[in-house]
Amino acid sequence: MNKGKSENLMRNILEFHCPRYNELPKVPLYKEQVIEYIENVLKGINVRHSERLITPTMLNNYVKQKVVSPPKDKKYNEKHLAYLIIVCILKQVFTIQEICNLIRGQINTCPIEEAYDFFCVELEKSLKAVFDTRNFSEPSSARRVTRESEVVRSTVMSFSHKIYIYEYIFDEVIKKGF
Count of the separate structural domains present in the chain: 1
Q: What is the C-alpha to C-alpha distance for residues 134 and 137, in angstroms, rounded to an integer?
A: 9
- Please list the rounded mean pLDDT of every run of 10 residues in the chain (178 residues): 61 94 98 98 84 95 96 98 97 94 91 96 96 84 85 95 86 63
CB 126 within 8 Å of CB 156: yes
Q: What is the C-alpha to C-alpha distance for residues 166 and 131, in angstroms, rounded to an integer?
A: 12
**Residue 24 belongs to what domain range?**
3-176
Segment 124-176, tens digit of pLDDT? 999 999 999 888 888 788 888 888 889 999 999 999 999 999 888 876 666 66
Helix locations, 15-75, DSSP H: 31-42, 56-64
CB 131 within 8 Å of CB 164: yes
